[in-house]
Chains A and B, each alone.
Chain A
Amino acid sequence: MIRTTPFHPRLAELSQTQMWGNWSGYLSAVRYDLSSKHEYFGVRNAAGFFDTSPLYKYWIRGRDAELLCSFAFARDVRTLKLGRAQYTIWCDDDGFIMEDGVLFRFASDEFLLTAAEPNMGYLKQLSRLYDVEIVDASEDYASLAIQGPRSRDILEVLTPDISSLRYFGFTETKIANTPVTISRTGFSGDLGYEVIIPVADALPVLDAILQAGHPHGLRPYGDEALGMTRIEAGLPLIGVEFNSSRYAWTPDDRFTPDELGLGWLLKGIEDDSRPFIGRDAILRERADGSSRWRTVGITVAWSDFYELFDSRGHLAVPDEIPVAWESMLYNANGKRIGYATSFMYSPILQCHIGIARVKPKYAEPGTDIYLEQTVNHEYINVRATVTTLPFYNPERKTA
Chain B
Amino acid sequence: MSDTNSYDAIVIGGGHNGLTNAAYLAKAGKKVLVLEQRHLVGGAAITEELRPGFQFTTFSYALSLLRPEIIQELDLVRYGFMPLLMRSHFAPMENGDYFLLGPDTGLNRQEIARHSKADVDGMERFEHDTARVRQFIRPLFDSIPPNLFSDDPADADKMAWLLKHLGTGNKKVIHDTVRLLTGSIADFCDDYLESDIIKATICSAACVGIKLGPMSPGSGMNWLYLSMGEHDGIGGSWSFHKGGNGGFTQVLARAATAYGAEIRLDSHVDHLITEKGEVKGVALRDGTEFRAPVVVSSLDPRRTFLEIADPRELPADLVETIQRFRFQGVASKVNFALDGLPEYPALSGRADQYLGFINVAPTVEYMERAYDAAKYGWYSEHPYIDACIQSLVDPDMAPPGKHVMSCFVMYTPYELKGSTWQAERENMADRVQATLQGFFPNFNDLVLQREVVSPDIIEAKTGLSEGNIYAGEFFPHQMYFFRPAPGYSDYRTPIRGYYQCGSGTHPGGCVIGAPGRLASQQVLKDLGRAKA
Give the interface of A toward B (CB within 8 A): 16, 33-35, 37-38, 41, 45-46, 150, 214-217, 301-303, 306, 315-318, 320, 345, 347-351
Inter-chain contact B103/A216, CB cutoff 8 Å? no
Inter-chain contact B82/A217, CB cutoff 8 Å? no
Q: Which of B69, B82, B394 contacts A303 (CB 8 A)?
A: B69
Inter-chain contact B85/A217, CB cutoff 8 Å? no
Q: Which of B91-107 contact A (CB under 8 A)?
A: 102-104, 107
A38 partner residues in chain B, CB cutoff 8 A: 85, 87, 103, 355
Q: Which of B468-518 contact A (CB under 8 A)?
A: none
CA distance A35 to B104 in the complex (A): 7
Inter-chain contact A306/B400, CB cutoff 8 Å? no
Known: A217-B395, A303-B72, A349-B77. A37 touches B85 (CB 8 A): yes
B395 partner residues in chain A, CB cutoff 8 A: 45-46, 150, 215-217
CA distance A351 to B69 in the complex (A): 12
Known: A37-B85, A316-B233. A45 touches B242 (CB 8 A): yes
Q: Which of B72, B135, B392 contacts A302 (CB 8 A)?
A: B72
Q: Which label, helix, strand, loop or mixed, suits the secondary structure of the A interface?
A: loop
Q: Which of B113-171 contact A (CB under 8 A)?
A: 131, 135
The answer to whether B71 has its CB under 8 Å from any CB of chain A is yes
Inter-chain contact B68/A315, CB cutoff 8 Å? no
A216 partner residues in chain B, CB cutoff 8 A: 395, 400
In addition to A35-B102, A317-B232, A345-B232, 16 A-B residue pairs with Cβ atoms within 8 Å of each other are A33-B103, A34-B103, A34-B107, A35-B87, A37-B85, A38-B85, A38-B103, A41-B393, A217-B395, A303-B69, A306-B233, A315-B235, A317-B233, A348-B82, A350-B71, A350-B232
CA distance A45 to B239 in the complex (A): 14
CA distance A151 to B402 in the complex (A): 19
CA distance A348 to B401 in the complex (A): 26
The answer to whether B346 has its CB under 8 Å from any CB of chain A is no
Inter-chain contact B233/A45, CB cutoff 8 Å? no
Q: List 22 A-B contacts (CB under 8 A).
A: A33-B87, A33-B103, A34-B102, A37-B103, A38-B355, A45-B82, A45-B84, A45-B395, A214-B401, A216-B400, A217-B392, A301-B72, A303-B69, A303-B72, A315-B233, A317-B232, A317-B234, A320-B232, A345-B232, A345-B233, A350-B232, A351-B72
B103 partner residues in chain A, CB cutoff 8 A: 33-35, 37-38
The answer to whether B81 has its CB under 8 Å from any CB of chain A is yes
A45 partner residues in chain B, CB cutoff 8 A: 82, 84, 242, 394-395
Known: A35-B103, A45-B394, A150-B395. A350 touches B81 (CB 8 A): yes
CB distance from B247 to the nearest CB of A (A): 12
Q: Looking across the interface, which residue of chain A has its beta carbon closest to that of B82?
A: A348
CA distance A316 to B72 in the complex (A): 16
Q: Looking across the interface, which residue of chain A has its beta carbon closest to that of B87?
A: A38
CA distance A45 to B390 in the complex (A): 13
Inter-chain contact A318/B233, CB cutoff 8 Å? yes
CB distance from B376 to the nearest CB of A (A): 43
CA distance A347 to B232 in the complex (A): 7
Q: Looking across the interface, which residue of chain A has its beta carbon closest to that of B135?
A: A315
CA distance A182 to B113 in the complex (A): 48
Q: Looking across the interface, which residue of chain B has its beta carbon closest to that of A214?
A: B401
Which of B87, B232, B392, B393 has the most chain A CB within a 10 Å cutoff?
A: B232
B352 partner residues in chain A, CB cutoff 8 A: 16
CB distance from A311 to the nearest CB of B (A): 12
Inter-chain contact A350/B77, CB cutoff 8 Å? yes
